[in-house]
Structure 1
Amino acid sequence: MQVVEKGETYDLAYAKKAMMVVVILPLLVMYTEAMLTPALPTIQKEFAINPNNVSWVLTIYLLVGTVSVALFGKLGDIYGKKKMFLVALGFYTLGVILNGFAPSFQWLLITRAIQGFGMAIFPLAFALVREEFPPSMVPQVQGMISAMFAVGMVIALPLGAWVTENYGWRWTYHSAAPFAVLMFFFAWKILRESRYINPGKVDWIGAFLLTLGVVPLLVGVTRGPNVGWTARETLTLFGVGILGLILLVLWERRVENPILPLGIISSRNPAIANLGIMLAAFGLSMMSQANTYILQMPKPYGFGKTILQSGLLMTPMAAVMLFVAPLAGKLMPKVGAKPIAMTGALIASASLAYLSKYATSLSLPAFVAMITIVGTGITLMNISLINVLVFSVPPRVMGVATGANSLFRNFGSTWGPAIAGTVMSTYYILFHPPGAPPFFKIKLPTEKAYEVLFGTAAGIYLFLALLILAIVEVMKGGKIREVEEGREKEVVVE
């Protein structure tokens, strides 16, 4: 069945098949990544390394991925988004396969870095959705993609703990590898090449400067809580990173085909969407760390649950998000992205403000209900912002726009745990576990720590609600407005 919208013809049967690929994709990735978290202590023991070193299993993936999302997004605009999507997915699949066979910790870091190149699948998938799907379908598909992120994490955390406990950490990858291979095969067979190509030279100097700016900053953030935020190492990393970003901005202003076109990503709607998603990721990751401690710390400092039980307690949030996200996408063309984004930000802010005062005194069902409400608000806001972005940039630069957006999201996700760790290390009490040696004590966050974390997150989402007021609406009353070659077009959604 052919559908004509804004003068373009779309194959609805193809769109529905392609939708299955891009919707299942985040389920696979979150399954793979979240399963790793419960396995970190086991990896540490097998390779006889300290906790700071084992954290590099997560960090190296993030470092490589943050640079690759921008680079592959640009390459997708130049050479075709399906081509680069398959390349990125190939890296991800290869990394997943090799991780489970790593003979040493050093090899594991190398294979995790290979896997990190695959992080670019998400901005490329968002770009393909925008280009190859009828505009009327895009908000709902984006909603389903967002829902799958939450579902994948909720499935993976308890399953990862169970697999690691019964079969060893390597099977967290062995169990994911066949699904990664299948995803590559289906993507190759089903997806079509994007209809928009923007030929040009690759800005390799810009890519180098982006790496020089991003990598030291992210390493500094992850190392800061351990070595100290004012330590020489941390300050040096921040200094190099800031210098790299300054040089990047100066270079991108003069180069003909920049890796990060500043004029596009700094225009009103993309700038608000990028800043909003970065701050939302920061608030979410900070809140998630606080949730983990409250659920798993021993009573009376928490609910004393295992990793498996904690994962299962996240199920209500995933179930609600699975329902809310597609529904919001379906309603968005009628009521507008802006009202839904603001509603989500205000719901998240109010719920987090409540948690900042009462988190440690709530019953377990009440706490689960509150974090479910928070997750619902964040989902509404994130879905709206990604739709604001993809309908606010020309299709020929969609890859680089979504790549830059993923870069900002990664920055927020990296800062969140680092700041949360610092806050919980500032406000703590020493706890002596029953049966442990007299000298052995562990640090447990106090009520003040949770008050600061949830309160800060509440303030961030309140600020985002105000920021959303400045968005130029891209859809409302059944009409979607989109930018193409600097002009505004409308499509009526039936």
Structure 2
Amino acid sequence: MITLMFGLQRYHHLLILLGFIIATVMATEAMIIAAFPAIESEFGVASVITAWILPTVMLVGAVILLAVGSLGDIIGKRRVILICLLIYGAGVFLGAYAPDMLTLLLSRMLQGVGLAVAPLAYALVAEETPPEWVSTGIGVLAATYGAGSFLGIMTGAFIIEHIGWRACFLVMTPFVIALIISAWFILPKKKGVLKGKIDLAGMALFAASILFGMLALTQMGLAGIRHPFVWICLSISIISLILFLRHEKRVALPLLDIGMIREAPFPAITINAFLVVFSFFILLQVMPYLIASPAGLALAIVYVGILLMPGSLTDMVSGPLAGYIVGKKGVVLPFVFGSVALLVGCGIFFLFPLTPLLVVCIWMIFSAGMSILLTIDNMIAVASAPPGQTATASAFLHTIQSIGGAIGPIVAGAALTIYPGEEAFSVIFLIVLGVTAIILFQSVGIRRHLP
């Protein structure tokens, strides 16, 4: 009995720590969202350049997530998480003193390493939690995304309005230091279960594929689709992806286990995760402009936080609720429900006049659907992973999510640059409406993709 109680106490401490780590990373991301128009004005750059503030974090996350997942299985998750937190902390501190856009993007690259903690957190919950509590534990971690976003949006808009956007990074620095100290004492000291080394050549090819694809979208927004640089970047992106996939088939310890992701249910949840995060980050990028710009509601910056807060609350609640429902009813019903929520949340933009209440409703419904779907995707991923590869499987899914999160804001930024005011908003919501329709179509047949 004493051993059981001690084990449960250790599990609770671990879950709380991992939850705080994820919440801190998400709070930093949410804080800076309201500052997009201010940063754009201060540095004198176009909307499609400002749109890189979110994708830079996602780009780094996408590139290193697979490597970090494998590294966690090789040298131990505790060591990797501590390294990631140290690099993330350096990025947060640097962001406060960025003198130009390039330095700010560099700080965001360092902050992108913080995203790599998420798959390791999910893997630790799957490995350290009693089997009957795994779904609940993953649901709790999913809720910390919403909790972090809620706190970040709530405090960030106020700080930006009254102090300035740089203060957001200064406020978060002590929290990161406290997390590093806590992680040193709480994370379990276990060795890795796999042998090998990280596939650096695969990382380089994968990074080139994503980076040049994003550069192509950016240049498309600045100069149009016919510009030669667009097609040069697009060609390099496609060639790099082909070379990456061929390379991964030949190496002894690949960055991406092609065999694993070919098996059900990984193809289905991969497509779903990408589309969900892609559509979410398109709307996340456009919301500050929709709320604060003259073409939208023309409200003060502080209202970005006020109007987005309810959506973060629904995100926070929907993750654990999805975990509970999956444990009782299976994945199909909540999966379809989450897909319908995405479609409805986006579709009502075209049905009613633009008002603060409409923005609140859009963000609440869409956030709920997003949280439900991503929670289920992560549950399926860790449950379907081969023994000893939970971190790798979770990292793969988070990589796909990061790619969607990197491309989404660039698409939104390009639309904001190409189209004037209200027309840009309509184009962006039309794109998201089409994507969410695909998600709903896919969700109806999810049962046949499950193992």
Scaled by the length of structure 2, what TM-score is found?
Answer: 0.90
Mark the runs of 5 or more structure 1 residues left unpaired by the alignment.
Answer: 429-442, 474-494
Equivalence map 1:254-403=2 (5 Å): 254-298=250-294, 302-353=296-347, 355-359=348-352, 361=353, 364-403=356-395
Give the direction of change, closer, same or farther, for the CA distance of 1:105–1:350 in structure 2 (3 Å limit): closer
Q: Report the secondary structure of 1:268's partner residue.
A: coil
Give the direction of change, closer, same or farther, for the CA distance of 1:168–1:295 in structure 2 (3 Å limit): closer
1:452 aligns with 2:448: no
The alpha carbon displacement at 1:59 in A equals 4.2
The alpha carbon displacement at 1:374 in A equals 2.7
Paired with 1:289 and 1:50, the residues of 2 have a C-alpha distance of 14
1:470 aligns with 2:448: yes
The alpha carbon displacement at 1:182 in A equals 0.7
The alpha carbon displacement at 1:20 in A equals 0.4
Answer yes or no: is the 8 Å Cα contact 2:90–2:110 preserved in 1.
yes
Q: Which residue of 1 aligns with 2:182?
A: 186
Paired with 1:16 and 1:259, the residues of 2 have a C-alpha distance of 32
Q: Deviations over 1:378-428 (max 9, x none)?
A: 221111111011100124122222222122112212232333344556664
The alpha carbon displacement at 1:218 in A equals 2.7
Q: Deviations over 1:193-247 (max 9, x none)?
A: 3575111132222222222322222332344322323321121111111111111
Q: Which residue of 2 aligns with 1:21?
A: 17
Q: Deviations over 1:447-493 (max 9, x none)?
A: 753662353243133233135233326xxxxxxxxxxxxxxxxxxxx
Q: Which residue of 2 aligns with 1:97?
A: 93
Paired with 1:302 and 1:216, the residues of 2 have a C-alpha distance of 32
Taking only the aligned residue pairs, the percentage that are identical comes to 27
**Which amino acid in structure 1 is aligned with residue 341 of structure 2?**
I
Answer yes or no: is the 8 Å Cα contact 2:153–2:308 preserved in 1.
no
RMSD: 2.9
Q: 2:409 aligns with which of 413, 417, 421?
A: 417
Q: Report the secondary structure of 2:254's partner residue.
A: coil
Q: Which residue of 2 aligns with 1:88?
A: 84
Paired with 1:175 and 1:398, the residues of 2 have a C-alpha distance of 34
**Which amino acid in structure 2 is aligned with residue 206 of structure 1?**
G
Q: Report the secondary structure of 2:225's partner residue.
A: coil
The alpha carbon displacement at 1:183 in A equals 0.9
Answer yes or no: is the 8 Å Cα contact 1:86–1:184 preserved in 2.
yes
**Which amino acid in structure 2 is aligned with residue 389 of structure 1?**
A
Give the direction of change, closer, same or farther, for the CA distance of 1:112–1:348 in structure 2 (3 Å limit): closer
Answer yes or no: is the 8 Å Cα contact 1:78–1:200 preserved in 2.
yes
Paired with 1:311 and 1:462, the residues of 2 have a C-alpha distance of 29
1:149 aligns with 2:142: no
Q: Which residue of 1 aligns with 2:209?
A: 213
Q: Deviations over 1:319-365 (max 9, x none)?
A: 23333321221232221123221221123224433x15314x26543
1:119 aligns with 2:115: yes
Give the direction of change, closer, same or farther, for the CA distance of 1:207–1:273 in structure 2 (3 Å limit): same
Paired with 1:221 and 1:285, the residues of 2 have a C-alpha distance of 15
**Which amino acid in structure 1 is aligned with residue 324 of structure 2?**
K
Q: Which has the higher strand share?
A: 1
Q: Report the secondary structure of 2:422's partner residue.
A: strand
Structure index of larger Rg: 1
Paired with 2:45 and 2:415, the residues of 1 have a C-alpha distance of 25
Q: Which residue of 2 aligns with 1:440?
A: none
Answer yes or no: is the 8 Å Cα contact 1:10–1:134 preserved in 2.
no
Q: Which residue of 2 aligns with 1:436?
A: none
Q: Which moved more, 1:10-19 or 1:106-115?
A: 106-115
Answer yes or no: is the 8 Å Cα contact 2:31–2:157 preserved in 1.
yes
Paired with 1:272 and 1:318, the residues of 2 have a C-alpha distance of 26
Q: Report the secondary structure of 1:136's partner residue.
A: helix
Answer yes or no: is the 8 Å Cα contact 1:338–1:384 preserved in 2.
no
**Which amino acid in structure 1 is aligned with residue 446 of structure 2?**
I
Q: Which residue of 1 aligns with 2:224?
A: 228
The alpha carbon displacement at 1:264 in A equals 0.9
Paired with 1:363 and 1:166, the residues of 2 have a C-alpha distance of 25
**Which amino acid in structure 1 is aligned with residue 320 of structure 2?**
P
Equivalence map 1:68-79=2 (5 Å): 68-79=64-75
**Which amino acid in structure 2 is aligned with residue 352 of structure 1?**
C
The alpha carbon displacement at 1:134 in A equals 1.9
**Which amino acid in structure 2 is aligned with residue 394 of structure 1?**
P
Mark the runs of 5 or more structure 2 residues left unpaired by the alignment.
Answer: none
Q: Which has the higher contact order (CA 8 A, sep 6+)?
A: 2
Answer yes or no: is the 8 Å Cα contact 2:217–2:410 preserved in 1.
yes
Paired with 1:397 and 1:101, the residues of 2 have a C-alpha distance of 39
Give the direction of change, closer, same or farther, for the CA distance of 1:336–1:237 in structure 2 (3 Å limit): same
The alpha carbon displacement at 1:277 in A equals 0.5
Give the direction of change, closer, same or farther, for the CA distance of 1:47–1:303 in structure 2 (3 Å limit): closer
Answer yes or no: is the 8 Å Cα contact 2:282–2:411 preserved in 1.
yes
Paired with 1:53 and 1:327, the residues of 2 have a C-alpha distance of 37
Q: 2:233 aligns with which of 208, 232, 237?
A: 237
Answer yes or no: is the 8 Å Cα contact 1:124–1:399 preserved in 2.
yes
Alignment: residue pair count:
451
Give the direction of change, closer, same or farther, for the CA distance of 1:2–1:19 in structure 2 (3 Å limit): farther
Answer yes or no: is the 8 Å Cα contact 1:21–1:187 preserved in 2.
yes
**Which amino acid in structure 2 is aligned with residue 72 of structure 1?**
V
Give the direction of change, closer, same or farther, for the CA distance of 1:366–1:296 in structure 2 (3 Å limit): same
Give the direction of change, closer, same or farther, for the CA distance of 1:136–1:352 in structure 2 (3 Å limit): same
Paired with 2:205 and 2:69, the residues of 1 have a C-alpha distance of 16
Give the direction of change, closer, same or farther, for the CA distance of 1:471–1:11 in structure 2 (3 Å limit): farther
**Which amino acid in structure 2 is aligned with residue 371 of structure 1?**
W
Q: Which moved more, 1:276-285 or 1:44-53?
A: 44-53
**Which amino acid in structure 2 is aligned with residue 131 of structure 1?**
E
Answer yes or no: is the 8 Å Cα contact 1:124–1:402 preserved in 2.
yes
Answer yes or no: is the 8 Å Cα contact 1:286–1:457 preserved in 2.
no
Q: Report the secondary structure of 1:175's partner residue.
A: helix
The alpha carbon displacement at 1:47 in A equals 5.5
Give the direction of change, closer, same or farther, for the CA distance of 1:329–1:56 in structure 2 (3 Å limit): closer
